[in-house]
Amino acid sequence: MIKLIELPYSYSSLEEAIDAKTVEIHYEKHHKGYKDNLLKLISGTKYEDWDVEKIMMNSNTIDDSIKTAVKNNAGGVLNHNLYWEVLSPKPKNKPEGELLKLIDRDFGSFENLKSKLIDNAKSRFGSGWTFLVVNSEDKLEVCGTANQDSPIYDGKKPILGIDVWEHSYYLRYQNRRLEYLENLIEKILNWDAVEKIYSKI
Ligand code: MN3
């Protein structure tokens, strides 16, 4: 069963950082498009009953004729589910507890982590993503991927994802990617959600 996250907020409620039209098109056209494509690709195949996590964890076993397309679209579904999950009109602006301790350990400070996220996202050439992940050594790491690639394919567990495709910001920000990133991180990124995702991995 391939599922899109149900948005726990309205399209207009992220206006402080992202306009309503962008959220609507991004969710209903782009994100849903990945789901529809994935369903088309796997329908009638032995992967039909797999959920998106299973598809991604076992992507190397998928038939070569559809492997790349399945990976691209499964990544599109999962990356966007994570993106919507960590945004909120009423965000908790700073992590605390266990997650904050790890951030201090692995980045020096929360401010350093935010700079790293912005630097990674700002320097992505073309379309892609910036993630905060837990790597195979159980350390936090900032990493980026191109297109709809997922850190899962490199054995990393993403706990925060920022969409850096132009479709996520172009209507309001045009070429001003940095302004989109700063507004997203300062105004609608919800560390409560990131803590919850971290606690479940
Ligand atoms: Mn997108």
For residue range 69-96, list pLDDT tens digits in order. Answer: 999 999 999 999 999 999 999 999 999 9
Between the CA of 30 and the centroid of ligand 1 the distance, in Å, is: 6
Between the CA of 101 and the centroid of ligand 1 the distance, in Å, is: 31
Burial class (CB in 10 A: 0-12, 13-18, 19+), 75: buried
Q: Using CA atoms, how far apart are residues 74 and 78, in angstroms rounded to an integer?
A: 6
Between the CA of 170 and the centroid of ligand 1 the distance, in Å, is: 11
Would you state the structure tokens that stand for residue 121, as one six-digit string?
A: 């996202």
Q: Is the pLDDT of residue 18 over 90?
A: yes
* CA dihedral (53, 184, 119, 109) positive or negative: negative
Between the CA of 83 and the centroid of ligand 1 the distance, in Å, is: 9
Between the CA of 177 and the centroid of ligand 1 the distance, in Å, is: 14
- DSSP type of residue 15: T
Between the CA of 40 and the centroid of ligand 1 the distance, in Å, is: 20
Q: Using CA atoms, how far apart are residues 195 and 192, in angstroms rounded to an integer?
A: 5
Long-range contacts of 104-113 (CB under 8 A, 24+ apart): 106/139, 106/140, 106/141, 107/140, 113/140, 113/142
- pLDDT, one tens digit per residue, over 134-160 is 999 999 999 999 999 999 999 999 999
Between the CA of 126 and the centroid of ligand 1 the distance, in Å, is: 13
- pLDDT, one tens digit per residue, over 119-130 is 999 999 999 999
Give the number of other CB atoms < 10 A from CB of residue 194: 21
Between the CA of 31 and the centroid of ligand 1 the distance, in Å, is: 7
Q: Using CA atoms, how far apart are residues 114 and 182, in angstroms rounded to an integer?
A: 9
Grade residue 188 by pLDDT with cuts at 50, 70 and 90. very high
In the chain, the amino acid numbered 24 is: E
- pLDDT, one tens digit per residue, over 164-187 is 999 999 999 999 999 999 999 999
The H-or-E segment that residue 144 falls in is strand 140-146
Contact between 67 and 124 (Cβ < 8 Å)? no
Q: Is the pLDDT of residue 35 over 90?
A: yes
Q: What is the pLDDT of residue 182?
A: 98
Q: How far is CA 122 from the centre of its chain?
A: 15
First to last CA, the chain: 21
- pLDDT mean across residues, the chain: 97
Q: Is the pLDDT of residue 1 over 90?
A: no
Q: Is the pLDDT of residue 12 over 90?
A: yes
